[in-house]
Amino acid sequence: MSNPQQLRYSKEHEWLSAVEDGVATIGITEHAANALGDVVYVQLPEVGGTVTAGETCGELESTKSVSDLYSPVTGEVTAANQDVADDPSLVNSAPFEGGWLFKVRVAEEPKDLLSADEYTEFSGN
pLDDT, mean of residues 81-107: 96
Those residues with Cβ within 8 angstroms of residue 62's Cβ, 6 or more apart along the chain or in another chain = 36, 37, 38, 39, 40
Q: How far, in Å, CA of 74 to CA of 39, rounded?
A: 25
Encode pLDDT of 21-44 as tens digits. 999 999 999 999 999 999 999 999
Q: What is the pLDDT of residue 124?
A: 86
pTM of the full predicted structure? 0.93
The identity of residue 49, as a single letter, is G
Q: 10 versus 2: which is more confidently predicted?
A: 10
